Amino acid sequence: MELIFKKLAQLSASLVFFILAATALVLYLSARPAIEEFGLGFLFESRWGVEETRAQPVLSPNQVVDEMPVIDEQADALLDDDFIDDEDDFVGDDDDESSGDTRIVYGALVPIVGTLFSTLIAMFFSIPIAMGIAVFLSEIAPKLLAKPVGVAIELLASIPSIIYGMWGLFYFGPFIAGIFGGNTVSLLVAGLVLGIMVIPFMAALSRDAISTVPDMLKESAYAMGATKLEVIKDVVFPYAKSGIIGSIILSFGRALGETMAVAFVIGGVYQFVGKVTDPTNSIPVVLANSFAESSGLSLSVLFYLALILFAMSFIVIAVAKFFFLRRK
């Protein structure tokens, strides 16, 4: 009994490790056709689902970064296609999966940039507000107010992300478009909705970090005549620094991988933004929108994207864990 129990427990614990390893492995294997096809250049390629002739050298990212209208691209490809067909026939012979000497090019640059930018906007927006809430709850508000507001914040952190997305689509998007102009779905709206979503999460974690500051330290500072600002700036923040930074990084990780809150409001268009009020795309949204109708190489490309997202969030969280949130 004793032994069985121990083995069972051990097995369960290794299961977590096993799942993590299996996820990475399965994603890699499923993505392999795409990885072989596009290599690491995938990360810097801005076109998506565009036909291209084999003989044509892949454009360097610098050349493509300037928003190239998709239609022109396709027209170019068609023209080149005819031209090459006239001249010789063996150009595309090594290509076994696409017809003739063209292939469809997929690139991850647009969703990667969209993911990073929307997350950064979210962070710029949410950090000051979440810090304000955390400080307010732990240092400013009277006990009578701090408790219920604190509980409310924690409850709000548990609201499913799809709710934030829906609210963003129907209310917040038009509201923002009314102020800044542009579309009701855009990078800006996506970033702000993400920001609002992580505020309660970040505020709750930061408040916990701030509440670990010993009262003795604060009282000593007050006794020396320090104002509240000085106590918070010179005593509380330095003491709780690693916990606060950790909470920011965890929120960053959450915003990075968030699907539903963004899917409603980012627009799902493969294009770089000229202005922040333009629609664009992010990795989770591409995955959510295109998975069902993909197969073969295009499916493999999606797995490649998922692998990139997995790696990105893995790195973010690992950094948070290993540098800032060491549990004792």
Q: Which of residues 219-258 bind other proteins (CB under 8 A)?
A: 227-230, 232, 250, 253-254, 256-258
Which of 211, 242, 298, 313 is close enough to bind other proteins by CB under 8 A?
313
Taken in order 10, 11, 14, 20, is the CA torsion positive or negative?
negative
- CB of 61 within 8 A of CB of 45? yes
What residues numbered 197-216 form the site for other proteins, per CB under 8 A?
199-200, 203
What residues numbered 267-306 form the site for other proteins, per CB under 8 A?
284, 287-288, 291-292, 302-303, 306
Query: Cα(75)–Cα(6) distance, rounded to whole angstroms?
Result: 66
Which of 77, 109, 113, 130 is close enough to bind other proteins by CB under 8 A?
130
* Vertex 107: Cα angle to 249 and 181 (nearest 5): 65
Taking phi over 0 as left and psi of -120 to 50 as alpha, with beta for the rest, 68 belongs to beta
Minimum distance of other proteins from residue 244's CB (angstroms): 14
Kindly state whether residue 179 participates in binding other proteins, applying the rule CB under 8 A: no
| Binding segment (CB under 8 A) for other proteins, from list 6-14, 39-47, 95-103, 179-187 | 6-14
Kindly state whether residue 20 participates in binding other proteins, applying the rule CB under 8 A: yes
Query: Cα(1)–Cα(23) distance, rounded to whole angstroms?
Result: 33
Distances (CA, A) of 25 to 256, 304, 306: 21, 12, 12
What residues numbered 23-82 form the site for other proteins, per CB under 8 A?
23, 26-27, 29-30
| Binding segment (CB under 8 A) for other proteins, from list 86-94, 103-111, 234-242, 315-323 | 315-323
3-state secondary structure (DSSP) of residue 280: strand
Minimum distance of other proteins from residue 64's CB (angstroms): 27
Query: Cα(124)–Cα(43) distance, rounded to whole angstroms?
Result: 25
| Binding segment (CB under 8 A) for other proteins, from list 45-53, 78-86, 273-281, 308-316 | 308-316
Kindly state whether residue 19 participates in binding other proteins, applying the rule CB under 8 A: yes
**Two tokens, residue 222:** 């007050």
**Two tokens, residue 92:** 């595309």
What residues numbered 132-151 form the site for other proteins, per CB under 8 A?
132-133, 135-137, 140, 149, 151
